[in-house]
Amino acid sequence: MPVMTMRDALNLALKEELARDSSVFLMGEEVAEYQGAYKVTRGLLEEFGPKRVIDTPITELGFAGLGVGAAMAGLRPIIEFMTFNFSILATDQIINSAAKMRYMSGGQFKIPIVFRGPGGSAYQVSSQHSQALESWYAYFPGLKVVMPSTPADAKGLLKSAIRDDDPVIFIEQERMYGMKGEVPEDDDFTIPLGVGEVKREGTDATIIARSLMVPTALQAAEQLEKEGISCEVIDPRTIRPLDINLIIESIKKTNRAVVAEESHPFASVGAEISAEIAERAFDYLDAPVKRVSGADVPMPYAKNLEQLVIPDVAHIVAAVKEVAYV
């Protein structure tokens, strides 16, 4: 299989789906002439033209609403936010229209729309541009929330999201666009939404991680292996629907759980996973569930302070040792 960056895997998925289905189109700020703020949409305007790759004004609420209307009319829009921080301006359309329209119309409307773009911590862009919003969107019934951690997952999950008949929030970690991995060349390679994956098998503790925290957790697991602690690393890949059964089966084997995320700890996805573990696998736990989260503060601009806010390998290693009573 060819090796490519996360950015190129996403670009390939977009290219293949635009070619496969004429009802698919892409819309957002700088996606066309500028080739995408992070070059994920590079080359698509030249291949598919300005009617299917559309630059928009800086009006997130407006073009998100246009996308919802297009989905109601039978098209399959892909709405790119330059950063998911800007999606805050479009939440009325995402939450009150896209998420609820199928229910409120008694099933008369499908809303096959993808809202995608970079989210989570970036590099020194401070408080208003480094936020993890996945728990916010996962809270609302009607939305699916996807967070890939590898180039292959990015391609397979994005293709599934575009083909899905429900609205999908697809969050790409901004720091991961340059990360490389093997990606299947198959034009029909997809990964079902709602199916997690064991990224590394182990016997002593389960680390549940997503997005940027997956490679961090894998590095931590490698370090712990040298110290005689075997860690299983689970990537849910889809936050909603959540593959909780995969997580529970792992904990039944390892009897210990660490949930790693870069988002704030209060009311987070990690809090939900921890609660579900306590409800479903309490009798299998040999230690309380341990959470590793970003600091509960707005993201600072200064690089040294930014590094203190985001969990790293050392944080995860310490958490695993705590639940393993080492």
Domains 3-182 and 197-323 share a fold: yes
Q: What is the pLDDT of residues 55-89, one digit of tens each?
A: 999 999 999 999 999 999 999 999 999 999 999 99
Is the per-residue pLDDT at 271 higher than 90? yes
Give per-residue pLDDT as tens, 83-132: 999 999 999 999 999 999 999 999 999 999 999 999 999 888 888 999 99
Q: What is the pLDDT of residue 149?
A: 98
What integer best gives the mean pLDDT of the chain? 97
By annotation, the residues acting in catalysis are 60, 129
Kindly tell me if the per-residue pLDDT of 185 is higher than 90: no
Across the range 289-293, mean pLDDT stands at 98
> What are the sequence ranges of the domains in the chain?
3-182, 197-323
CATH domain 197-323 topology: Rossmann fold (3.40.50)
CATH of domain 3-182: 3.40.50.970
* Phi, psi at 164, each rounded to 5°: -75, 145
Tell me which of 26-30, 212-216, 304-308 is least confident. Answer: 304-308
- Tell me what the mean pLDDT of segment 240-265 comes to: 97
- Mean of the pLDDT values across residues 170-192? 96
3-state secondary structure the chain: CCEEEHHHHHHHHHHHHHHHCCCEEEEECCCCCCCCCCCCCCCHHHHHCCCCEEECCCCHHHHHHHHHHHHHCCCEEEEECCCHHHHHHHHHHHHHHHCCHHHHCCCCCCCCCEEEEEECCCCCCCHHHCCCCHHHHHCCCCCEEECCCCHHHHHHHHHHHHHCCCCEEEEEEHHHCCCEEECCCCCCCCCCCCCCEEEECCCCEEEEECCCHHHHHHHHHHHHHHCCCCEEEEECCEEECCCHHHHHHHHHHHCCEEEECCCCCCCCHHHHHHHHHHHHHHHHCCCCCEEECCCCCCCCCCHHHHHHHCCCHHHHHHHHHHHCCC
For residue 96, the model assigns a pLDDT of 97
